[in-house]
Structure 1
Amino acid sequence: MLKLAVNHSVISSDALMPVIHDLYDIGEILEIRFLSNGLNDTYLVIASERKYVLRIYKANWRSKSDIECEIELLHHLISNGVPVSHSVKKKDGGYLIELAAPEGHRFAALFTFAEGGHSDTLENSSLYGIEVAKMHRAMDDFHSSHDRFIIDLDHLLEKPFQSIKPLLTHRPHDIEYLESLSKLLRDRIEDISSELDWGMCHGDLHGGNVYFHQDTLTHFDFDCGGLGWRAYDIAVFLWAKVRCRGKDAFENEMWSAFLASYQEHKPLSDRDLEAVPVFIAIREIWLMGLHTGNAPVWGAWQNDHYYDINLKFLREWCAEHNID
């Protein structure tokens, strides 16, 4: 019988039940349910008194230092009154679980459960803008002893392009377009970088990583967060609206409500606002790189149709906003 290498394994929910019971003081574990295979593996943990979310990080995705910085950030935000899903302390006082999986060493952490669900209304867009601004303000005085990756132009452009390039060898004109566009986008941001607001970011504020419950909300999934430009962080919200609602989304009421509320609590400079459309194009390239880079785990579904759609969006967006 051949023994082959494994790219990714899904840990058994049944096997996790005694582990979580032994490590955490959260009462009887009634059920653990595997929810999703995303950037990390997510499980719903139903205990006798409340629910939790278990995240098992993919092997070689985030370093121990990256995760420890994220956990510190969440507790910093909670202590500053920012509503976030945060990690739960184990019986031994730590937060991380270390697992020996077939594909290699993996980390896991248990998080509080965010009540409510997604909501795409004008009122909640305004509330989201307020709370994101408060979150950014609270992040301004966050300091960690742990290293964390930086959301710079190498992270957002260079590494994604290197992931995309091998899959487009049969489309040399598109490789040339992406290469020249990446350089243009880099130049645009580098020209004004010193004037942009820089600090800790959530990294993935597309609107799917927040749950609304009555008149409150809870932020979660800071896995893509790190030091970066705040204009990029808020641009992700608009990018999500553009991708879902069409190319006129810059004037979309939800974006306007979000932006106005954000600026009431944390004003943006003209340079920050100028950078938003540029960061939307950058985000699209980052996403393509994320998909192609994770193809060994998620599947190689990045075919010609996929690239046709994404490159069409890039070309149209850049033309409309005088980027190309």
Structure 2
Amino acid sequence: MGIAMNIFPVMYSMLSSDALRDFVNENFDVGQVITCKILNRGLNDTYAVITGDCRYILRVYRTPWRTRTEVYYELEALDFLVQHGVSVSAPIRNVDGNLASEVVAPEGLRYVTLFTYAEGKRPQLDVSISYEYGKTVAQIHNLTDDFVTSQTRPGLNFTYLLDEPLKIFTPTMKEYGGDISYVQSFARAIRERFSKQDMDFGFCHGDFHDWNAHWNGNKLTIFDFDCCGPGYRAYDMAVFLWNLKMNYKGQEIENWMSFMQGYGALRTITDTQLDSIPWFVAARRIWLAGIYLSNEDVWGMGIINDGFFRSFVDQLKEDESAMGIQIR
């Protein structure tokens, strides 16, 4: 007689690469899968899938990071963009015609989607590629003015970018002696300065930077729409500037100007939007700090210390100085 065993609750399981290989073979009509290997763990898990003559990307959405309706919002947006000729890593329907499949993991239901592979490699940004990136962002904004779905996603608004992250990291920041009052003052200044009525609001990728694109020498392909949703288009542009400030010191001005020229070639940028972008860079920093603290099952809490919060505040002070303002 066997012994009954209860499965201990888990925060985050890693699905077997071999089992996922078999799952793709059973559920997708893409040819025989030769290998399926984990590429990286993150907010979701990403696997490289190789058949006889093609490469694909398999995403396993994390529970409870993404609900069914949130997953389908993203996938329907991608399907819409593909139909309108945008170069994106596109979801492939399974044999039942669905954009996502379901698997039961120890932590609960998880969603699985197979994507086309984005040819090329992560670009090293220069003025020419930044120009193409700006055009691509504008193209996506233009087309998605007409995107309609019954699925829902949290809006990329001030509640999502500022209020919720502040609730998450305020107790821990106080514990480490961080200057939380300065961050709270900065968040209030951002919220008070702009209103939805003054801004271009619509579908956003939410994470436009060079880690989420491949360049094959003449074409840019965008991927990882996991942070997409209805939001401020200025925030979408600000993420690109945030990345330049973080990773392209000394090159950010020329790349940013080129990006904006590319964007402006296809879509009008109002003065209000332009003025708001540096503020949304700061909002991005606040949002990201909240992401790190609210996903301990991904990164653990070892990276959270006084240095983490000191660097966070220093970055906000750089933004304050660059804008020529005084927060307090």
Per the shorter chain, which TM-score range? over 0.9
CA RMSD of aligned residues (A): 1.6
8 Å CA contact 1:126, 1:258 repeated in 2: yes
Q: What is the identity, as a one-letter code, of the residue corresponding to 2:163?
A: E
Give yes or no for the alignment of 1:244 onto 2:247: yes
- Name the structure 2 match of 1:124: 129
Give yes or no for the alignment of 1:201 onto 2:204: yes
Given candidates 215, 220, 224, the residue that maps to 2:227 is 224
SS of the aligned residue for 2:91 comes to: coil
SS of the aligned residue for 1:42 comes to: strand
Cα distance in 2 between the residues matched to 1:172 and 1:45? 46
Paired positions, count: 320
Q: 4+ runs of 1 displaced by more than 4 Å?
A: none
8 Å CA contact 2:91, 2:114 repeated in 1: yes
- Name the structure 1 match of 2:154: 149
Cα distance in 2 between the residues matched to 1:147 and 1:257? 34
Distance 1:207 1:259, change over 3 A: same
- Name the structure 2 match of 1:65: 69
Shift of 1:5: 2.2
Give yes or no for the alignment of 1:318 onto 2:323: no
- Name the structure 2 match of 1:29: 33
CA deviations over 1:9-47 (Å, ceiling 9, x no partner): 110101111111000111111000101111100000101
SS of the aligned residue for 2:36 comes to: strand
8 Å CA contact 2:43, 2:298 repeated in 1: no
Cα distance in 2 between the residues matched to 1:110 and 1:124? 27
8 Å CA contact 1:133, 1:266 repeated in 2: yes
Q: What is the identity, as a one-letter code, of the residue corresponding to 1:139?
A: T
Cα distance in 1 between the residues matched to 2:135 and 2:178? 43
Shift of 1:297: 2.8
Shift of 1:173: 5.9
Given candidates 210, 213, 229, the residue that maps to 2:213 is 210
Q: What is the identity, as a one-letter code, of the residue corresponding to 1:15?
A: A
- Name the structure 2 match of 1:290: 291
8 Å CA contact 1:278, 1:323 repeated in 2: no
Shift of 1:160: 0.7
Shift of 1:223: 0.6
Cα distance in 1 between the residues matched to 2:236 and 2:32? 39
Cα distance in 2 between the residues matched to 1:131 and 1:158? 30
Q: What is the identity, as a one-letter code, of the residue corresponding to 1:269?
A: T
8 Å CA contact 1:7, 1:297 repeated in 2: no
Q: What is the identity, as a one-letter code, of the residue corresponding to 1:187?
A: E
8 Å CA contact 2:177, 2:306 repeated in 1: no
Shift of 1:249: 6.1
- Name the structure 2 match of 1:180: 185
Q: What is the identity, as a one-letter code, of the residue corresponding to 1:64?
A: R
8 Å CA contact 1:238, 1:249 repeated in 2: no
Cα distance in 1 between the residues matched to 2:59 and 2:326? 38
Mapping of residues 162-177 of structure 1, within 5 Å: 162-171=167-176, 174-177=179-182
Shift of 1:164: 0.8
Structure 1: gaps spanning 5 or more residues: none
Distance 1:2 1:91, change over 3 A: closer
CA deviations over 1:33-70 (Å, ceiling 9, x no partner): 10111110000010122111000011011111111111
Given candidates 139, 156, 172, the residue that maps to 1:134 is 139
Give yes or no for the alignment of 1:106 onto 2:106: no
Shift of 1:302: 1.3
CA deviations over 1:284-323 (Å, ceiling 9, x no partner): 0000000111123311011111111111111121133116
- Name the structure 1 match of 2:46: 42
TM-score (norm 2): 0.94
Structure 2: gaps spanning 5 or more residues: none
Give the share of equivalent positions with the same residue, in percent. Answer: 36
SS of the aligned residue for 1:150 comes to: coil
Shift of 1:171: 4.5
Given candidates 305, 308, 313, the residue that maps to 1:306 is 308
Cα distance in 2 between the residues matched to 1:154 and 1:168? 19
SS of the aligned residue for 1:208 comes to: helix
